[in-house]
Amino acid sequence: MADLGVTALLLGLALSMYSVVGSIVGEKKGIAELIVSARRAMYMTLLSAVVASAALINAFVQNDFSIKYVADHSNTLMDRAYVWVAFYAGNEGSLLYILLVLTIISAIAIWFAPRRLARSMPWTIAILAVIQLFYFGVLSFAASPFELLDTVPADGRGINPLLTHPGMFSHPPLLMGGLISITIPFAFASGALIAGNYGDDWIDVARVSAIISWGVLGTGMLLGAWWAYTILGWGGYWAWDPIENVALMPWLVLTAFIHSIMVQKRRGMFRMWNVALLNIAFVLAQLGMFINRGGPVVSVHSFAASTLGIIFMLFMILSLVFAFGLFLWRMPRLKSDRAMESFLSRESAFLVNNFLFLAVMAITLWGVLFPLFSDLARDVSVSVGAPYFDRANGPVLLGIVVMMGVGPLLPWRKASARSLKQWFVWPVLAGVVTVGVLLAVGVQRPIAIIAFGVVAFVATAISEEWWRGTAARHRSGDNWALAWWRLVNGNRPRHGGYVVHLSILMLGLGIIGTNFYQQRTDGAIELGESLVIDNYRIEYVDSGDSSRADRIAQWAEITVYRIDKDDYAVEIDAARAEGASGFTLADSTARLNDKYLGQIEPWHGFYPDFNMASVRSGIRSTVVEDIYVIPRDFLADGRISLAVSINPLAWWLWASGPFFIIGTMIALWPQASIERRRSREPVQLEPLAELEPESNGGKA
Amino acid sequence: MASRIPFVLVGTRALPGKATSFWIAKFLIVLLIATTACIREEDITLEQRAHQLAAQLMCPVCDAQTIDGSSAQISQDMRLKVRELLDRGDTNAEIKDYFVLRYGPEILAAPEGVGFNLLAWIVPVFIVIGGVGIALLAIKNMRKAGMRARDTQIQADDEGDLSDYLEQVDRDLGGSTEIIPTPVAASKKLTDSGNEANS
């Protein structure tokens, strides 16, 4: 198996090298056969990567512990379903996985590339092949997953226990796949630039592939946050950890890109800017790869210290120099067709939105790099963590949400006073009323109240547009549902975008609720005792053992009640006097107004081989708030040490996910009317969204 | 940008019909019900303060985790210490100093805004001001260029307008082919809500 894998990788290396040279020489010397053959070599690199991956997966299935990677990341106890997870659980395997994704999406992109890009395709292929070449090289010579052990162990070390969760089937592959897939729009744009194809031919493919990348990356991050919240038992979902940040940064830049590409598509403006955005996103993705592979900053996610750091750093620098060298070389040719007409136009709103996204990206980058900078400049170590990013990025993110309401209400070109007052009355009113009502009913924390006002403003702006469009169609005879569907269908990129905007608002609600209004208490209770926090009482009713050969594990059964605080007035006052947020009740007899809500079963495991604890929180989730119970420890005296929190609006964080995905799909769905219009033009063109099959593959 | 919107111009004539208000009212009610979850007594207990502080202190033996989120023994000990210092009546700043003295400045999850570390906090401000400034300047320049170009290119621009308009009509008709609005109605719709069908 190992020999087969190594051979496949070397073959892939040779083929991608051939593709690079063939494309460039073929294009320069005008040898059509060579170009075609270089293109076909790209399908063969796909085959090589598939064979190498299959060899590794097969080694896992066969428990072939003579291969170091297999021995390090699985054992005979491992559930066979986790073979797929074990495949990318470590450094070498994850690189092979990334290469596999890259070869698949390259082949799809090349296969479906529209014919009008024929002139720039050799260059696009050469760029894709160089990147494949890099990964084939690294896997062949620096980080081979097929390295053999001198003595074959009887059993492997086992898979990292934190990875044995269904969420791990999708979160890491989506994130890694999302990061590498930024290569595709970058290759299309750069290919067009090298070929001197300055028009807007490439923007449809770049837009579609960038949205796919963006959607996959966004879904991956959301799944990661969800996984952290439900499994990691640390009570949070986003820690601004360096690895999280390096996935977020390219996503932010892609977000800017998929907005501003619409301006280029509609108005022929921002050509330079769009190319620059793709370049930045691509270089940031390389930065992500670098930091992930033994980069210089600490993270909970890093692969165990690997020596690959320097190789990936060099590749990142190479990407940077290439992307911006090319950009500067071609910049004078990337002129806008039309000029900006007004500050109050959608074009300018898009531009401001773009700069805000880039500002969040730059602040995040600064935060990630500052500890390094401090180390180098004055030899003092500092940490830059969540409190920093919350404060530095929070206001800008709120600004972006404001723009999300303002931008779509402004017309292209120039807004008239009349259209402004017509469109802004209700949203502004909704925002102001929300702030007023929240103040009136006594909600605390001014910043959060403003944020709620902004959410109301944007949500009303979107509803208003949908309402007006739907009503207009309803008047012309459609029923309401059909009218709304036709409205959305009439301009899918726009209305799909609104669905995504709604999902961002839901995310916003969750972020505001959990960040500003979380309540927490810690306590250790015996069987039969209760812990009370705010208007919840949780009673420890049962526990049991679920240890296995590789872990020591216990579960607890806890009953959740909603209480009337008046029933517990004495205890609440006593607790407050002590400065505690909650208190323990030895006598768990239900009081008058206690209402049974349900059972939860938190779980705590320890894996001696990894010296690692794994925790499943007990969560009872509603639209309003979650009661969230982390079992910190099962103590020797029979008590259980709990961290209990109330997380307001946390449900909305996860509810946003389906909207995000559906909205992205709507925006991506090929637009029939454009196809028809295009087909009337003299040159026969391919359908708009050639990359569609890829979107299905990525989402399924 | 937002400050340039002339709110004074808002008049009752612009108000949409009753149905819209119903729609919006319904949404607002849902939003308000959801956000009332956030009503809590304001006075922060010492325990809440302990959690807030724990979220600002790094776990010395973990990778990039605060003591609030980590289950390492040292984190538990540090959390207890925080609570002990709070019970003694220390301020948040005093407690942070206590830990900085023992573990060095990297124990803080965010650098304090003094001395060299002020850079960490000031650069973001410049990034935002610079970014928005560049954006506004770019719009201004593009607008100037546009005004110069307009005199010479009225003809071309008009054609551009017409194609936009035809696209618009195309799309309006695309939705429901049975109902063909008169050109007057279509153009009125375009000017009334220029952004409705654009993307």
Highest mean pLDDT among A7-11, A339-343, A614-618, B70-74: A7-11
- Cα A671 to chain center, whole Å? 26
Q: What sections of A153-241 are H helices per DSSP? A: 171-181, 183-195, 203-227
Q: What sections of A62-117 are H helices per DSSP? A: 68-73, 83-87, 91-112
Residue A690 has pLDDT above 80, yes or no: no
Do residues A628 and A619 lie in contact, with contact meaning Cβ atoms separated by under 8 Å? yes
Nearest to B195 among A343, A387, A412 (CB): A412
pLDDT-based confidence at residue A181 (cuts at 50, 70, 90) = very high
Please work out, in degrees rounded to the nearest 5, the angle formed at the alpha carbon of residue A197 by the alpha carbons of B136 and B159.
60
Please give the pLDDT value at position A297. 66
Tokens of B10: 């808002």
Residue A15 has pLDDT above 60, yes or no: yes
Please give the pLDDT value at position B71. 76
3-state secondary structure of A390: helix
Cα–Cα dist A15/A35, whole Å: 14
Mean pLDDT of B165-186: 49
Contact assignment for A234 to B69 by CB distance below 8 Å: yes
Residue in A closest to B170 by C-alpha: A673
Please give the pLDDT value at position B43. 62
Closest by Cα among B39, B197, B134 to A437: B39
Nearest to B24 among A386, A395, A463 (CB): A463
Do residues A180 and A102 lie in contact, with contact meaning Cβ atoms separated by under 8 Å? yes
Please give the pLDDT value at position B197. 39
Of residues A232 and B93, more confidently modeled: B93
Residue A377 has pLDDT above 70, yes or no: yes
> Which neighbouring-strand residues pair with A629?
A618, A644
Number of residues in chain A? 700
Among A390, A443, A512, most B C-beta atoms within 10 A, so best to mutate, is: A443
Among all chains, which residue has been given the structure tokens 């890694």?
A176
pLDDT-based confidence at residue A471 (cuts at 50, 70, 90) = confident
Contact assignment for B135 to A521 by CB distance below 8 Å: no
Contact assignment for A580 to B35 by CB distance below 8 Å: no
Among A162, A260, A410, A581, most B C-beta atoms within 10 A, so best to mutate, is: A581
pLDDT-based confidence at residue B169 (cuts at 50, 70, 90) = low
Of residues A181 and A416, more confidently modeled: A181
Contact assignment for B40 to A444 by CB distance below 8 Å: yes
pLDDT tens for B55-71 read 899 988 877 788 887 77
Mean pLDDT of A108-129: 91
Contact assignment for A382 to B139 by CB distance below 8 Å: no
Please give the pLDDT value at position B14. 40
Please give the pLDDT value at position A686. 39
8-state DSSP, B108 = B
Please give the pLDDT value at position A270. 81
Of residues A525 and A162, more confidently modeled: A525
Mean pLDDT (chain A) is: 86
Do residues B94 and A264 lie in contact, with contact meaning Cβ atoms separated by under 8 Å? no
Contact assignment for A384 to B110 by CB distance below 8 Å: yes
Of residues A340 and A85, more confidently modeled: A85
Please give the pLDDT value at position A693. 35
Contact assignment for A486 to B63 by CB distance below 8 Å: no
Chain B contact set for A402 (CB, 8 A): 2
Among all chains, which residue has been given the structure tokens 């304090």?
B112
Lowest mean pLDDT among A410-419, A437-446, A606-615: A410-419
Q: Which helix (H) or strand (E) holds A143?
A: none
Contact assignment for A467 to B19 by CB distance below 8 Å: yes
A122 Cα to chain B: minimum distance (Å)? 32
Q: Where are the domains of chain B?
A: 46-110, 114-151
> Where does residue B162 fall: left (phi above 0), alpha (psi -120 to 50 degrees), or beta otherwise?
alpha
A425 Cα to chain B: minimum distance (Å)? 7
Highest mean pLDDT among A241-245, A357-361, A681-685, A688-692: A357-361
Nearest to A430 among B28, B131, B178 (CB): B28
Q: Which CATH number fits domain B46-110: 1.10.8.640, 3.40.600.10, 3.60.21.10, 3.40.50.11270?
A: 1.10.8.640
Nearest to B171 among A383, A424, A673 (CB): A673
Please give the pLDDT value at position B171. 61
Chain A contact set for B15 (CB, 8 A): 425
A to B CB pairs, distance under 8 Å: 320
Contact assignment for B20 to A468 by CB distance below 8 Å: yes
The residue ranges of DSSP E strands in B29-142, in sequence order, are: none
Residue B172 has pLDDT above 70, yes or no: no
Residue A310 has pLDDT above 90, yes or no: no
Highest mean pLDDT among A500-514, A574-588, B149-163: A500-514
Cα–Cα dist A161/A335, whole Å: 54
Contact assignment for A463 to B196 by CB distance below 8 Å: no
Please give the pLDDT value at position A26. 92
Residue B164 has pLDDT above 70, yes or no: no
To the nearest whole percent, how much of chain A has pLDDT over 70?
Answer: 93
Nearest to A509 among B14, B34, B48 (CB): B34
Please give the pLDDT value at position B12. 38
A503 Cα to chain B: minimum distance (Å)? 14
Nearest to B56 among A387, A513, A677 (CB): A387
Whether ipTM > 0.85 holds is no
Give every CB contact of residue A169 below 8 A, 6+ residues apart in sequence: A84, A85
How are strands ordered across the β-sheet holding A618-621?
A519-525, A640-648, A625-634, A618-621
B27 Cα to chain A: minimum distance (Å)? 8
Chain B contact set for A438 (CB, 8 A): 32, 35
Highest mean pLDDT among A454-458, A490-494, B42-46, B167-171: A454-458
Among all chains, which residue has been given the structure tokens 């502004």?
A428
Q: Where are the domains of chain A?
A: 1-164, 519-650
Please give the pLDDT value at position A117. 87
Burial of A325 (0-12, 13-18, 19+ CB in 10 A): exposed
pLDDT-based confidence at residue A298 (cuts at 50, 70, 90) = low
Contact assignment for B37 to A625 by CB distance below 8 Å: yes
Please give the pLDDT value at position B148. 66
Residue A568 has pLDDT above 60, yes or no: yes
Over the range A392-404, which residues count as b (16 or more CB within 10 Å of their CB) and which as e? Answer: bbeebbbbbbbbb
